[in-house]
Amino acid sequence: MKYYFNPKINKPISRNLPRLGTAGQARSSPVDPFPKMVKLSDIRSLEQLKPYKMKILLLREECFRHLPVLEKYMLMIRGDARDLKYLQTASNGMIGMPCVRNEKRVRLSSDLEKSFFLFSFMDEIMKRMTCAVNYYKAGKEKGMSDIYPFIIFGFERFRPDETFVNLKPYAERFFGQGDDIGNTIWNACVIPIPKKVAEDHSSYFPTILQDKERFGAPTRIINKKYIGLADPAGGRAYLMDMMSIVAHYNLHLFARSILSFISHQPECNNK
């Protein structure tokens, strides 16, 4: 089993990092999310946010096209912040790392099932990114100047005898403890998180309460079919229920990057 580091996934920070792994190990990525990310403080009014609703819908449809690959493959994801030596070791396949994963095989044939899975995935991205940022800030407070926040993900084909299960609406699609306890990641790819995002995390992933403070009105546009999922009775809701349009847009970019990357790998196109 090999690990892969892809410096092209995140162009801004990779210019400041040495090339990890060998040229033969690096994979190309069709999407680069970070230069297209927006931050709340760059938007002056609610009027300027309106175009992002349509962009979110388009990103959602792109994610939907790639999601079926996860009927065959388990996705594993971890957020962390370490030094370059650790990243070098990971990229060369020298170590394994615990993670969270969608360990249950579910059908993604309907828009509703895809929505449940996509928003659960985006929720998990947010949690893993928060872990990475927290590790990064804790390291900085200890005087560590050479650490880098990152998300690492991998994918593994389900066993032939793995059967499909029916998960209840609003049930978790990813499993693992808060400190990323899970399976070892295989065929991993590292996405370095730009320091500008790590150091201004809440501005790139604001809540509707932050929107209200800035604009005088929240940007809560819950639409069960398209934008967010929430239990009408108030019993369960994904984190996405509380995220603003800016956060939805940025998380969709990140989700599309990972899903598109996986679906473009030759092994994922083999039946």
What's residue 95's pLDDT? Answer: 64
Residues of the chain above pLDDT 90, percent: 26
Contact 211, 244 (CB under 8 A): yes
The encoded tokens of residue 141 equal: 């407070």
For the chain, the average pLDDT equals: 77
Say if residue 255's pLDDT is above 60.
yes
Single out the residue of 4, 3, 2, 9 nearest to residue 192, CA to CA: 9
What's residue 38's pLDDT? Answer: 93
Which residues are 207's β-sheet partners? 243
Other Cβ atoms closer than 10 A to 19: 12
The encoded tokens of residue 109 equal: 């044939």
Q: What is the pLDDT of residues 178-233, one digit of tens each?
A: 444 445 565 677 788 888 999 999 999 998 889 889 988 877 665 556 556 666 56
Which residues are 147's β-sheet partners? 83
Burial of 205 (0-12, 13-18, 19+ CB in 10 A): buried
Single out the residue of 244, 176, 172 nearest to residue 206, CA to CA: 244
pLDDT class of 5 with cuts at 50, 70, 90: very low
What's residue 223's pLDDT? Answer: 59
Q: What is the DSSP letter of 34?
A: G
The encoded tokens of residue 243 equal: 């995220």
Contact 122, 251 (CB under 8 A): yes
What's residue 235's pLDDT? Answer: 58
Q: What is the pLDDT of residues 135-178, one digit of tens each?
A: 999 998 998 888 889 888 888 888 888 899 888 877 778 876 54
Summarize the confidence of residues 257-266 as an average pLDDT. 86
Which residues are 148's β-sheet partners? 82
Single out the residue of 171, 152, 33, 30 nearest to residue 89, CA to CA: 152
Q: What is the pLDDT of residues 75-115, one digit of tens each?
A: 888 888 988 887 766 655 566 677 888 888 999 988 888 98
